[in-house]
Copies of this chain bind each other. A is one copy, B any other.
Amino acid sequence: MTQKLTQRITINDVASAAGVSRQTVSRALNDKGEIDRETKQRVLDAARDLGYRPSRFARGLVRPDTTSIGLVIPDLLNPFFTEVAAAALEAARARGWHVVVYDTADSLEEERGTLQVIGTQVDAVVGYFSLSEAELDEHTRGMPVVLIGRQSPRFSSIRIEGAAGVRSAVDHLVSAGHRRIGMLDYANRADPSDRHAWFCAAMATHGLATDAVTTAAQSVAGGAEALVELLDRHPDVTAVFTFNDIIAIGALRTVRRLGRELAVIGFDGLQLGTVVDPELTSVALDTRRIGALAVEQAARLLAGAEPLAGDDLVVQAVLLLRESA
């Protein structure tokens, strides 16, 4: 005898249906003692018949606070973000938190939409945003916000520091005898990336030229094409560093198809890199640490405790040697 929920069914409806008071219903539903077995059963039946579901809001208002955070990710299908998300989920679970996940599909519009509705749902927000600080501030209204991979004077942020890791990568290539090392950068940005800057700095320490740089689309195909182009322009290149692992995997494919000998080092250190053959050497980010750190910082902000600062918020990339270089 389920019925349509045109109007919300409340505890009062159940109470009158069962011929008891609200409190008795509450007791029956929450397995409190001090209630007649028979009464309890009658209430339970009534509740089931009516399709009654307690309002989580009303309940939350009265019971000890559960905390939940919003996790904002540009694209859950991108393995890097998947790893960060999984890590954040794990860290949140350890605290007994709930995580509401939003995939903004790399779109500013979706980001805005998310921000507008998120405020009423969560106690803090963690993740990736491309919106301006002003816009973020306007919608989050003092709610704790932890940005990942983006500096901000206004909000807490997890900083990604890759200079040392990229230097190790270049050192590694150089000591293997490589001198002409190219790079596949990410195309979709106006400026060259941080990673490009780190690459140039590392090359400079060896007095090596950094003219062999091409941009690639953010996909396996993009990496594959970009490497063809790069080798076309700079046939003497014997090794490449790439913006990320996806692009590197594409590059690896080109290497294989061309039957060429070429060292490849990616960036991110995804588990995905172990799926390809040869397994991908990469400048690795500890995605679990990123997720855990973001959640930890949110916890401190929420508790009004001393927030992490400075180096505690930095995630250092390190060279992860596998097979491709």
Contacts and interface: CB of A to CB of B under 8 A. Distances in A.
B303 A77 contact: no
Given A56-B123, A61-B61, A86-B103, A275 B304 contact: no
A143 B53 contact: yes
B120 A66 contact: yes
A238 interface: no
A47 interface: yes
A259 interface: no
Nearest to A58: B61
Contacts of A110: 93
15 contacts: A4-B304, A48-B142, A51-B142, A56-B57, A56-B119, A56-B123, A57-B57, A57-B60, A57-B61, A59-B120, A61-B61, A68-B121, A89-B103, A100-B100, A277-B277
Interface of A: 2-5, 8, 29, 47-48, 51-61, 63, 65-66, 68, 76-77, 79, 82-83, 85-86, 89-90, 93, 96, 98-103, 105, 110, 117, 119-123, 141-143, 220, 249, 252-253, 256-257, 271-272, 274-277, 302-305
Given A3-B304, A61-B58, A85-B76, A52 B142 contact: yes
A8 to B, nearest CB: 8
Contacts of A85: 76, 101
Nearest to A118: B98
A272 B275 contact: yes
A77 B86 contact: yes
Number of copies: 2
Nearest to A60: B57
A29 B79 CA distance: 39
A32 B303 CA distance: 30
Contact of A83 (B56, B57, B77): B77
A232 B59 CA distance: 61
Contacts of A117: 66, 96, 98
Given A5-B303, A51-B142, A60-B57, A98 B82 contact: no
A86 B44 CA distance: 37
B68 A77 contact: no
B86 A76 contact: yes
B304 A277 contact: no
B121 A274 contact: no
Nearest to A287: B77
A236 to B, nearest CB: 25
A57 B65 CA distance: 9
A116 to B, nearest CB: 11
Contacts of A257: 277
Nearest to A252: B277
B51 A304 contact: yes
A56 B120 contact: yes
A121 B101 contact: no
Contacts of A83: 77
